[in-house]
Amino acid sequence: MSDQSPTNDRNRRPSRVTTDQQVESPDWEDALQTPVQFVRGVGPERAALLEKLDIRVALDLLNNAPRDVLDLSNVKTPAELEEGLQQSVCGQVVDTEARLTSNGKTMSAVLIRSGRAFVRAVWFNQPWILKRFFPDSVVLFSGKPKMRSGRWEFSNPHTQWLENDDAATEDGLPVAVIPRYSLTDGLKMYEIRRAVKAAVEDYVDLVPELLSKECLDKWKLPGIRDAIRKLHLPKSMDEYREGYRRLVFQDLVEFQLAIELRRRVWWSGVPAPKMPCTAKIDSRIRRLFPFNMTPGQNQAIADIVADLNAGRPMHRLLQADVGSGKTAIAMYAILVAIANGHQAALMTPTELLATQHWQTIDKALAHSRVKRRMLTGNLTPQQRQKALEEIKSGDVQLIVGTQALIQKGVKFSNLGLVVIDEQHKFGVGQRAQFSTGTQSPHVLVMTATPIPRSLCLTQFGDLDLTTMSDMPPGRQEVKTYRVYNANTRKRAWKFVRERLQEGRQVYVVCPRVGEAGEDDPQLELSFDEEFPELAEKPQPTQPIEEELIGSAEELFEDLQKNELKGFNVGMVHGRMNAQAKADAMEAFRSGETQALVSTTVIEVGVDVSNASVMVIQQAERFGLSQLHQLRGRIGRGKHQGFCFLFSDASATDVVKRLSAMEKYTDGFKIAEVDFDLRGPGDILGSRQHGALPLRFGHLIKDRKLVEETRKAAVELVKSGQFDGPLLAPLKSAVLDRFAELMDLPRSG
């Protein structure tokens, strides 16, 4: 997505720059498109290197977001340090050391020379950190130092690794605040800094201001030129932050405006069938459920009913914690569509879930005439062919299946509604595909993964949101315990056996199917791949002694011989075929097997109300939202649910995360914690979402601004300002950048 830069689709005619730095071309846009090699002091060789960083023209240099900033305003010599104050020291690595402390923790220490004195830094239980220190490399420690046996020591300091010329500036004068840029092989920090400085000095006054004066005042933003100057040549951290904020704001508000335009397309584009819900339809549907809807469910239904009758396609995200009763809402919507003579499709991410929904729906509709079908990988080619024909002819009214099956070559005769269950990993682009044709179906996306607001606003900003926060009556919170040694483990298993004897059932979840390494979820890895700019933050996956079995197949054998001897144990995982999976689930649902060893295939949607206990092996390998999903499988009936998180990992990060699971039962809160600790990768899934097309903005660091810009964008569009003459340049910048990506029309 890095080629989303506005420079790409524009004419890059070089304009000559004279020696006194006066730009000849009268056209500012041309001048900002000056090839970077002609920027003062750059030349062809450095230009070639800069190109590797996607910096091709002068404007790219101005738009080149610093990777971070070095705050040297508080750097002290060891002699100047004071105990307990936040300060920094800078020095050269002399020695590193790792050892075990008396209570079994690892301690890692780094000694640096700062001037004539030595300063020590120490970390506990982060042995990997030493890999990042090399003799003679220059580092900056920030933190609150203590005096220990005559030497200053920083515990857990914030550390920055400096390039040798990192702090060097051209005129050699000490500068307190220095932005640092991404580099490429052969390019030095001072070189890129010099190029940026030249670009700022010679070109910044040509940068157009896209926001009106009113906007700047309202959102307390500096002008764009001022901002760029402050970002790249700050005199203080405050200046840097001010400049940074403006550029992030610009970046995010353009993105949000594009999303608003996308919404406008939804609203004004292809019509959708009007599907009114009469009192008669309503009461006939409600009769199918053995319970009364909760107020939250009724509100969600009201939102949906209004959408379905609005004559334009519904695009609604229904967000509600696990167990809150989303299936009933899906069924309601589906039956409204069918009552209006339309087809409806329910899509799920897994076959297991499709099967389960099918069973629920099939049972509820046992006495109705709704013609329904499930499409799974189970079908023989002939069966599949027949099903496809029935769907095409309109003989089938309701189709339940996985997403892939429904999308591949399936033609509907009269599709009115698509419900996508548990599919939050479904970004803006993917949803566009339903909108083709002369009529769009209504789309309802349901998710139990509470998506933190800032993320929701970006990934799902074009959807209307219904959040359901109540639970069916009598639901109890799952009690969660972190189990971190052999002793407590024994006790947990004893507890499990007692519950089984009482007639309850247990899930035992493993991170993988077979041998170590082969299908490890590797959450950190996919996160890094997806968000390389965030990957710098070390994600400590400490190699741990595998005392706890991580493989479902192995544990399945082991439990039958040991902890669960005498009980019926079943197993389900993703490598079994669909029939075997369905059989294993059925055996568990019917109570034939008392314990079910599984992988995360049971993560979403599975509903066996007699299961009240869950044991999760190597819990540190799962994301928090995933753990929350998993434990949502239990405590769904009248029995108190218990979840045991088995983990031997003692890294601080792991302990923090698993403790959050003990402490919080609210999925929204957990998602926020997860988001803070790990970033958005885990929540969005690794492949589906695609990187966000942002230049400066950072979903975690800048989430306040994500909110602000969202509001701003809505306001600008609603008030008509965005379509007015004052913001015409902004609009055309937004379209240049996003029209193609988000399929936006160039006019209107």
Token pair belonging to 691: 């990187």
Cβ distance to ligand ADP smaller for residue 324 or 618: 324
Buried b (16+ CB within 10 A) or exposed e, 271-290: ebbebebeeebbeebeebee
Name the pairing type of β-strands 138-143 and 442-447. Answer: unpaired
How far apart, in whole angstroms, are the C-alpha atoms of residue 430 and residue 148?
A: 58
Q: Least distance from C-beta 326 to Mg ion, angstroms?
A: 5
Q: Are strands 611-616 and 505-509 parallel, antiparallel or unpaired?
A: parallel
Question: Which of 400/549 has CB closer to ligand ADP?
Answer: 400
Binds 7: which of ligand ADP, Mg ion, none (CB < 5-8 Å by kind): none
Q: Which among Mg ion, ligand ADP, none contacts residue 356 (Cβ within 5 to 8 A by kind)?
A: none
C-alpha distances out from residue 613 to 475, 499, 582, 595, 599, Å: 15, 8, 21, 9, 15
Selection from ligand ADP, Mg ion, none that 35 binds (CB < 5 to 8 A by kind) is: none
DSSP assignment of 622-679 equals: S-HHHHHHHHTTSS-SSSPPEEEEE-----HHHHHHHHHHHH---HHHHHHHHHHHH-
Q: Least distance from C-beta 682 to ligand ADP, angstroms?
A: 20
- Binding pattern for the stretch 282-301 against ligand ADP, x by CB under 6 A and - elsewhere: ---------x-xx--x----
Amino acid at site 207: V
Question: Closer CB to ligand ADP, residue 5 or residue 356?
Answer: 356
The answer to the question of residue 603 lying near ligand ADP (CB under 6 A) is: no
SS3 content of the chain, % helix, strand, coil (to 5): 40, 20, 40
Please report, as residue ranges, which positions from 649 to 688 form the binding site for ligand ADP (by CB under 6 A): none
What minimum distance in Å lies between the beta carbon of 327 and ligand ADP?
3
Q: How far apart are CA 423 and CA 431, in angstroms?
A: 11
- Specify the residue, 138 or 288, whose C-beta has the smaller distance to ligand ADP: 288
Tokens representing residue 551 in the block = 């493989």
Q: Which of 179, 243, 323, 452 binds ligand ADP (CB under 6 A)?
A: 323
Min. distance of Cβ 422 from Mg ion in angstroms?
Answer: 6
The tokens of 75 are what? 């750097």
For ligand ADP, the binding residue among 36, 112, 335, 448 (CB under 6 A) is 448
The nearest distance, CB 230 to Mg ion, in angstroms, is 49
Which of 14, 394, 472, 729 forms a contact with ligand ADP (CB under 6 A)? Answer: 472
Q: Provide, rounded to whole angstroms, the least separation between the CB of residue 359 and Mg ion.
A: 13
Triad 561, 590, 356: Cα angle to 5°: 110
Q: Are 657 and 508 in contact (CB under 8 A)?
A: no
120 or 633: whose CB is closer to ligand ADP?
A: 633
- Supply the minimum distance, in Å, between the C-beta of residue 661 and ligand ADP: 18
Q: Which stretch binds ligand ADP (CB under 6 A): 174-182, 237-245, 324-332, 347-355?
A: 324-332
Which of 472, 690 has the CB closer to ligand ADP? Answer: 472
Least separation, in Å, of the C-beta of 624 and ligand ADP?
A: 17
Closest CA to 413 of 379, 376, 371, 453: 371
Nearer to Mg ion, 87 or 403 (CB): 403
625-644: which residues touch ligand ADP (CB under 6 A)?
A: 636
| 252 vs 379: CA distance, rounded Å | 46
Beta-ladder partners of 14: none
Q: What is the largest CA-CA distance in the chain?
A: 89
125 vs 447 by CB, closer to Mg ion:
447
35 vs 450, which CB is nearer to ligand ADP?
450
Q: Which of residues 325-354 bind ligand ADP (CB under 6 A)?
A: 325-328
Nearest distance from residue 144's CB to Mg ion, in Å?
48
User: Which position's Cβ is nearest ligand ADP?
Assistant: 325
Q: Is 324 in the site for ligand ADP (CB under 6 A)?
A: yes
Tokens matching residue 207: 């940068």
Residue 626: name the closest of 592, 585, 657 by CA. Answer: 657
Positions touching ligand ADP (CB under 6 A) are: 291, 293-294, 297, 320, 322-328, 448, 472, 605, 607, 609, 636
